[in-house]
Amino acid sequence: GAVVSQHPSWVICKSGTSVKIECRSLDFQATTMFWYRQFPKQSLMLMATSNEGSKATYEQGVEKDKFLINHASLTLSTLTVTSAHPEDSSFYICSASPLNQPQHFGDGTRLSIL
Partner 1 sequence: GESVGLHLPTLSVQEGDNSIINCAYSNSASDYFIWYKQESGKGPQFIIDIRSNMDKRQGQRVTVLLNKTVKHLSLQIAATQPGDSAVYFCAENQGYSSASKIIFGSGTRLSIRP
13 touches partner 1 (CB under 8 A): no
Using CB under 8 A, pick the residue from 16, 26, 27, 46 that binds partner 1. Answer: 46
Q: Identify any residues that bridge with 36 across adjacent strands, giving them in sequence order.
A: 46, 93
- By C-alpha distance, which of 78, 81, 74 is closest to 94? 78
Shortest Cβ distance from residue 83 to partner 1 (Å)?
A: 26
Closest CA to 106 of 68, 77, 70, 66: 77
Amino acid, single-letter form, for residue 62: V
DSSP alpha helix (H) spans, the chain: none
* Interface region with partner 1, contact rule CB under 8 A, candidates 11-19, 30-38, 68-76, 79-87: 30-38
Amino acid at the residue 46: L
**Residue 32 interacting with partner 1 (CB under 8 A):** yes
**By CB under 8 A, is residue 54 in contact with partner 1?**
no
Q: Among 19, 25, 56, 106, indicate the residue that binds partner 1 (CB under 8 A).
A: 106
Nearer to partner 1, 82 or 98 (CB): 98
